[in-house]
Structure 1
Amino acid sequence: MPFKVAAFYQFAALPDFRALREPLRAFCAGLDLKGSVLLAHEGINGTIAGTDQGIDDFVAELRHGALFGGRLDDLELKFSEAAQMPFQRLKVRLKREIVTLGDTTVDPTRQVGTYVDAADWNELIVAPDIVVLDTRNAFEVAMGTFEGAVDPRIASFGQFKEFAARHLDPAKHRRIAMFCTGGIRCEKASAYLLAQGFAEVYHLKGGILKYLEETPQQDSRWRGDCFVFDERVALGHGLRERAGARSSDAERESAPCEASVHE
């Protein structure tokens, strides 16, 4: 029986995030879930796997349960399957940011770019005046990306600000469309660019995973595979697991990424 995998995040004010760690860990353990969850003042980010019922109960608790008190009712959520359990253990970690840009003043709940649904993405990224920007790490981009996308050649998301300062100009680059694995990095990057004076910033809602889930392969502008932060390594169209590509937690965590979660 395959395992159900949930990749999720939401930017939301969680001033009590430290107190939430142990109750959330215990709840996940009680459902026999494995994976990684990050908690910070700005919200939650994670990828977990388990039985269908276990994942459904977990999502229901996040969205409607007493633990978060309705603060995660707008959770960005994507489901996929794994032939084997893609995590070896459960980790619930406290962080300064749920995705590390290195600027805690950036707040997507106050200012954020324009969300673009997967169905509308192809039309946007072929516009002649648009800059299509991949906000992921270089080793992820090497595995797959959208046709014509700019690779910032960064080793971690924390280097995005330096890339923007050197290569992006609000006067020259009037329209920017960004994407990442699950939506969290490009969402935060959109808030940052708007604060720097960029006029029109768009980002793919639900990220590459949502696009691969919803877009027929014959209509796709995606090329290659999408790296994911679990033992499946990469997913293709329909969120199908790439055959023969598996890694251990130790191998994956040695990669130059922010955390073992979908971002």
Structure 2
Amino acid sequence: MSLNQNLQNYLNTNNFTLDKYIISTFYKFLVLENYKELKIKFDKSLSKTNIKGTILLAKEGVNGTIAGSESDLKKFFIYIDKFSQFKDITPKFSSSNKNPFLRMKVRIKKEIVTIGIPEVSPSNLVGKYLNVEEWNEFLNESDSMIIDTRNNYEVSIGTFKNSINPKIKSFRDFPKWVQKNLIDKKISKKSKIGMFCTGGIRCEKSTSYLKQLGFENVFHLDGGILKYLENVKSDENEWKGECFVFDYRVSLNDSLEKGEYDMCYACRMPLSKENKKNKHFLKGQSCEYCYDQTTIKQKKRFNEREKQIKLLKVKNLKHLGPKD
């Protein structure tokens, strides 16, 4: 099914109104020899729209999170569908009352999701995909090991029951955790291991890594948490908490709508209403997790930024932040 057909299916099955923005995440691992040429073409096509977000291109594939109006996304997806190598991408969708992104960036990268091991190739070797029903069964099997491949601050606000939190700071740390907790402890290569992440890309790469290490029974949640929440029946939902996302929404609830969390600008930790009642919380400057971790110079910079944001709000303008 094409990207545009997937978009149309989403619109047909959701109460979408034209005043909302559609947010789409998509990725595909494949050998992409012409990725530098594609950047030029994507930039040109996107310049004709008001779509915002980020698309990463590398020799190993494409990874994008973008948002825009229905008409703009249709226009861009129709364009992408012309490229045969992208014909079977399955995107995830959600909506928002405002565009969660400030700019549109198409970037060239060494990896579309960084694990730091060039030999890992999901386009050649990957674990078995599990759909919602299969994943729920896997979660409840006594002999299965379920690993959350996301960063610790993401896991802190929500995860699946019975899952292991590796407590990593970034995905690049995942191989070290595997070495210490699976290899060094001589976990059987026949163990049933299931992994998950937000949209599927990290767990797909992590299963490729484990398969490369010789683990035989490796599985991952197809489409990640976002696709799971989109498709699971409410009375069969095994997800606990909210799902962290990398935009202004910070977290999504079971209905894929903005959750209750905000983000600390200083340390990027998600903050609940209770966290914001803590005496160390200063909006845009610090929270209970980082108040004693930043320098006086950093605190002054955060304070100045928060002042600028307040001034721009009065003028009904946006603070765009750094361009990188």
CA distances 1:210-239 after superposition (whole Å, capped 9, x unpaired): 111111333211111001111111111121
Give how far 1:167 is off: 0.3
Unaligned runs of 5+ in 1: 257-263
AA of the residue aligned to 2:236: D
Helix, strand or coil: the match of 1:238? coil
Helix, strand or coil: the match of 1:152? coil
1:259 paired residue number:
none
2:146 paired residue number:
132
2:62 paired residue number:
44
Is 1:98–2:112 an aligned residue pair?
Answer: yes
Contact 1:216–1:237 (CA under 8 A) maintained in structure 2: no
Which one of 37, 46, 52 corresponds to residue 34 of structure 1?
52
CA distances 1:140-171 after superposition (whole Å, capped 9, x unpaired): 00011001100001001011111101101452
Greater relative contact order: 1 or 2 (C-alpha under 8 angstroms, separation 6 or more)?
1
Is 1:177–2:194 an aligned residue pair?
Answer: yes
Contact 1:33–1:48 (CA under 8 A) maintained in structure 2: yes
Aligned counterparts of 1:195 and 1:209: Cα–Cα separation in 2: 27
Aligned counterparts of 1:74 and 1:129: Cα–Cα separation in 2: 33
Helix, strand or coil: the match of 1:231? coil
Unaligned runs of 5+ in 2: 1-18, 270-324
Give how far 1:56 is off: 2.1
1:79 paired residue number:
93
Helix, strand or coil: the match of 1:30? coil
The ranges of structure 1 where at least 4 consecutive aligned residues each deviate by more than 3 angstroms after the TM superposition are: 245-248
Aligned counterparts of 1:247 and 1:164: Cα–Cα separation in 2: 29
Which one of 201, 210, 219 corresponds to residue 202 of structure 1?
219
| 1:142 to 1:246, Cα distance in 2 relative to 1, 3 A | closer
| 1:247 to 1:153, Cα distance in 2 relative to 1, 3 A | closer
2:301 paired residue number:
none
Q: TM-score, normalised by structure 1?
A: 0.89
Contact 2:158–2:242 (CA under 8 A) maintained in structure 1: yes
Give how far 1:61 is off: 2.2
Aligned counterparts of 1:191 and 1:217: Cα–Cα separation in 2: 31
1:59 paired residue number:
77
Aligned counterparts of 2:229 and 2:114: Cα–Cα separation in 1: 25
Is 1:193–2:207 an aligned residue pair?
Answer: no
Higher mean C-alpha displacement, 148-157 vs 17-26: 17-26
Helix, strand or coil: the match of 1:153? coil
Aligned counterparts of 1:74 and 1:255: Cα–Cα separation in 2: 34
Give how far 1:29 is off: 2.2
2:164 paired residue number:
150
Is 1:10–2:42 an aligned residue pair?
Answer: no
AA of the residue aligned to 1:113: G
Give how far 1:247 is off: 5.9
Q: Which protein is bigger by CA-based radius of gyration?
A: 2
Is 1:222–2:239 an aligned residue pair?
Answer: yes
Give how far 1:95 is off: 0.6
Aligned counterparts of 1:148 and 1:59: Cα–Cα separation in 2: 38
Helix, strand or coil: the match of 1:202? strand
Aligned counterparts of 1:140 and 1:187: Cα–Cα separation in 2: 18
Aligned counterparts of 1:25 and 1:234: Cα–Cα separation in 2: 29
AA of the residue aligned to 2:24: A
Q: TM-score, normalised by structure 2?
A: 0.73
